[in-house]
Amino acid sequence: MDNINILGIESSCDDTSAAIIQNGIMLSNVIASQSVHTFYGGVVPELASRAHQQHIIPVVHQALKNAGIDKSNLSAIGYTRGPGLLGSLLVGSSFAKGLSQSLSVPLIDVNHLQAHVLAHFISEGNPDEKHPPFPFLCLLVSGGNSQIILVRRYDDMQIIGQTIDDAAGEAFDKCAKVMGLPYPGGPHVDKLAKAGNPTTFTFSKPQTSGYDYSFSGLKTSFLYLVRDEMKKNDRFIIDNLHHLCASLQHTVIEILMAKLRKASDDFAIKHIAVAGGVSANSALRRAFHEHREKHDWQTYIPPISFTTDNAAMIAMTAYLKYRHNRFGALTDTPFVRVNNTF
């Protein structure tokens, strides 16, 4: 049987990435991150689109080279159709369309959220890899998303809960900014929290219904505490940096895990996965391990390189769609907001 070689292209936010999956096994995964946004304390959409334009061709060349595959041997091109930043998505989708036309191979549109979930099925060819069985729950937490997804099959997913305002990563980043930490603040909070007491400060927790999240109240209560305390002591942040980070992190993780526990109980599902950039957080990983012991969960935490935005997960999703003859059309346009079409 001929090899199925899929090129995946990811350009939904501020990472330009290309990857090759051959018969479900990852051969390469190249990521060009954009440092240009650091100065602005957040992603600037216009600059992101321009950086994608600069990076996309070299990144695709490198992915092919690292995989040892010639472009004439590609079976299909998968690309991120959405959700994401429109200008960024347009760069990847237009490039993918042009390449698929020039090579006369099918085009496969990929939902970025579905791909985060299916990152759990990327194989690196190791026999001891552990992939979740269906059905499972996936907590997707990143700079733009906070969702609980019920995954019944590779193409049957239901978002049962999501944030009604800020995403978890956004809460980390915005509170980090209040403390004067560099963007993105999440990893800095994680590091500084290690030497802090998580119960020194308490912040408000949301009263959202069902499995939905909310982080804007926490962000505001964090901001007010810092503002009020700084009036009394202008060294408050410096004196309490570790405790502030530990208390913030503790609250975010408690909010995330409470809804996930509820979903696990209500749906009687014990296979629980995590995806997205925030899953790099050490306290969240610890919470997953604790739940494995206390609540008899089977947990699935992918390598960090597959939790942040990457094209391997796009290529993997495209590979599964390819095997089910599910192809995209040249008239498909990017979508910006979360939708339930997988």
Edge-to-edge strand list for the sheet holding 146-153: 156-162, 146-153, 136-141, 271-275, 298-300
Closer residue to ligand KG4 in complex, CB, 41/187: 187
User: Judged by CB under 6 A, which of 92, 106, 186, 302 binds ligand KG4?
Assistant: 186
List the interface residues with ligand KG4, window 140-159 (CB under 6 A). 142-144
The β-bridge relationship of strands 156-162 and 146-153 is antiparallel
DSSP line for 237-260: HHHHHHHHHHHHHHHHHHHHHHHH
- Which tokens belong to 181? 């930490």
In the complex, residue closest to ligand KG4 by CB: 277
User: Judged by CB under 6 A, which of 78, 161, 184, 334 binds ligand KG4?
Assistant: 184
- Distance of alpha carbon 245 from alpha carbon 34, whole angstroms: 26
277 binds ligand KG4 (CB under 6 A): yes
Minimal distance, residue 147 CB to ligand KG4, in Å:
12
13 binds ligand KG4 (CB under 6 A): yes
User: Judged by CB under 6 A, which of 56, 107, 137, 280 binds ligand KG4?
Assistant: 280
The β-bridge relationship of strands 76-82 and 25-33 is unpaired
Q: Give me the helices (H) in the chain, please.
A: 45-67, 86-103, 112-118, 168-178, 186-193, 216-232, 236-267, 282-294, 304-307, 312-323
Minimal distance, residue 307 CB to ligand KG4, in Å:
7
The β-bridge relationship of strands 271-275 and 298-300 is parallel
- Distance of alpha carbon 140 from alpha carbon 160, whole angstroms: 12
Minimal distance, residue 223 CB to ligand KG4, in Å:
17
How many residues bind ligand KG4, per CB under 6 A?
A: 19
Minimal distance, residue 63 CB to ligand KG4, in Å:
19
Q: Give me the helices (H) in 119-167, please.
A: none
List the interface residues with ligand KG4, window 57-96 (CB under 6 A). none
106 binds ligand KG4 (CB under 6 A): no
Nearest in space to 320 (alpha carbons), one of 310, 312, 329: 312
281 binds ligand KG4 (CB under 6 A): yes
Minimal distance, residue 297 CB to ligand KG4, in Å:
21
Q: Mask: binding to ligand KG4, 306-335, rule CB under 6 A, as x and -?
A: --xx--------------------------
276 binds ligand KG4 (CB under 6 A): yes
Question: Which spans of this chain sit near ligand KG4 (rule: CB under 6 A)?
Answer: 13, 142-144, 169, 172-173, 184-187, 190, 276-278, 280-281, 308-309
